[in-house]
Amino acid sequence: MSLAADLLKNFEAEIETLSLVPSDGGRFEVTVNDKLVYSKFQTGRHAEPGEVIGLVQELLK
């Protein structure tokens, strides 16, 4: 299952907007409800398994 599908499955009722933005240079950003949740560009690394789901969960509390 894709990250987008996982996020929508777990948080569909709370998420108004969801953006997964792959871009040049290996950047990857996840934005939920207009808030940046994870940026590979800023962290300099790939997200660990389950990390983005956990960050979204914290954001939506």
Q: Which CATH number do you get for residue 19?
A: 3.40.30.10
CB 11 within 8 A of CB 60: yes
Q: In the predicted model, is pLDDT for residue 25 greater than 90?
A: no
Q: Which of 12, 38, 37 is nearest to 27 (CA)?
A: 38
Q: Over the stretch 31-53, which tens digit does the pLDDT of each residue have?
A: 888 899 999 989 999 889 899 99
Whole-model pTM: value is 0.75
pLDDT at residue 21 in the model: 74
pLDDT-derived band at 1, boundaries 50, 70, 90: low
Three-state DSSP class for residue 39: strand
Q: Which residue has the higher pLDDT, 13 or 1?
A: 13
Give the separation between CA 42 and CA 8, rounded to whole angstroms.
24
Give the separation between CA 44 and CA 11, rounded to whole angstroms.
26
The number of distinct structural domains making up the chain is 1
Domain carrying residue 20: 3-59
